[in-house]
Amino acid sequence: MSERTASKPAAEQRILSRLMVARPAVLEAGCGRGTRLAEHRHRIGRLVGVDRDGDPGDERTMLDDFVTGDLCAPLPFPDRSFDVVYAGFVVEHMSRRRQAFAEWRRVLRPDGSLLLLTSRLLPRLPWQTTVALDRDLCRAGFQARELRTADRVRPPGLRSTLVAWYQAA
C-alpha cells in the first residue's frame, strides 16, 4: 500500500471500490495539479478534471481531459454527462458552494453519485457544519447514502475528514 493510499480514509476507499465497477465517466472537481483517483484509473472509463489552476501538473497525464474553470460557475459539459462527481478537499475553498452543488447535480446522470471529502476543522461558521452541508446538498437534488467522519493523523484531535456519499435524487 502506497503512502498516498494509506493516508486516505478507509470509507473513501470502500466507496470508491463500489463506484468504480462499471468503468464510469468521472468528473474530478478541483483536481489540482493531479488526481486523487490515480490508483483507480484503470477502473474509470473517462476521467475529466476541472480546476481553477490551469498550470499543468505531472499527474494530469492520467486525465482524459482537463478544463480550467470555476466550480461555482456553469461547467462546459452537457446535462447528465457523468456517472460520478468526485470532490476531494475542495468544498472548504468554494465561495458559492450551493451553485457548485446545483451544477454538479446537473452534470450527473440519474442515480449518479457524488463522493465528497472535506477537512473539518472545528466549525466556526454555521455553513461549515455537517448539517448545513447535508441541507445544501439535498436542496441541490442529492440524497445522502453515507456520511462518515474519519480522524486524520495530523494534527491529532484538531482535524477530521468528512467522507460524504450522495446520490442524485
Domains of the chain and CATH, by start? 3-168 (3.40.50.150)
pLDDT score, position 6:
37
In a 3-state reduction of DSSP, which class is residue 109? strand
Backbone torsions φ then ψ of 97, nearest 5 degrees: -65, -30
E strand spans, the chain: 25-29, 46-51, 65-68, 82-88, 108-120, 142-151, 160-168
- Could you list the pLDDT tens digit for every one of the 169 residues in the chain? 222 333 567 889 999 999 998 999 999 999 988 899 999 999 999 999 999 987 766 667 899 999 999 999 999 999 999 999 999 999 888 889 999 999 999 999 999 999 999 876 555 555 567 888 899 999 999 999 998 876 544 455 556 788 899 999 9
Backbone torsions φ then ψ of 149, nearest 5 degrees: -105, 125
Determine how many CB atoms are found less than 10 A away from the CB of residue 133.
22
